[in-house]
Amino acid sequence: FIFVQYFSTVPLFYNEVRSLSEFSIGLLLAMNGLIIFVFEMPLIKFLESRPMSQLSLMILGFLLTVLSFVFLTFGSWTGLLIIGMILMTFGEMIIFPFSSAFAMNRSRTGKQGEYMALYNIAFSISHIFAHNGGMLSISKFGFKSTWFIAMIIGVLGIFFLVILQNRLVKKSSK
């Protein structure tokens, strides 16, 4: 739900609430792609060399994405939108590679394709429902409330990842 808002409801927010032109919105979205192009592989290589688990990195990525919505809810300075986009972009660059690697590593030998198919189906389902869900939320509750809903969903996601991490640590210590 959270990630896809940056490509459906957030551009509407940029236009309708922050009065950004289509060109400015395009620049913000292009900045996302440019940052990914320049930094994703070096960032992933660096993070893989750190003594952090894939789940810890997923939690970090989720946290950055949740924090990005904070910058949408407060203040009127346009720079906050840039900071929010940068946080979301780094969150995206961290969570997606490590979540896909986590799914792959959890699979049994010979079942990797099935695990990755389920992982991709889950991502596809989010695209089916999250865009419309975000639009419905905006129409019923407004942008600010929708960003708070996204943050709550993100915090719940972090909470469940922490629970999973604790269970895996307990399981591996047995």
Total domain count, the chain: 1
CA 54 – CA 100 distance, rounded (Å)? 10
Q: What is the CATH number of the domain that holds 35?
A: 1.20.1250
The alpha-carbon radius of gyration of the chain (Å, integer) is 17
Q: Tens of pLDDT along 123-156?
A: 899 989 999 999 999 999 999 999 999 999 999 9
Q: Tens of pLDDT along 124-133?
A: 999 899 999 9
CA 83 – CA 79 distance, rounded (Å)? 6
**Average pLDDT of the segment spanning 71-90:** 94
Q: Dump the DSSP string for 8-43.
A: THHHHHHHHTT---HHHHHHHHHHHHHHHHHHHHHH
* Inter-CA distances, 156 with 74, 131, 143, 151, 167, Å: 21, 19, 20, 9, 17
Residue 79: give the domain boundaries: 2-173
64 close to 87: Cβ distance less than 8 angstroms: yes
**Using CA atoms in the order 40, 23, 66, 2, what is the torsion angle rounded to 10 degrees?**
-90
**Average pLDDT of the segment spanning 57-83:** 95
Q: Is the pTM of this model over 0.85?
A: yes
Which spans in the chain are helix H?
2-5, 9-16, 22-48, 54-73, 79-106, 112-141, 143-173
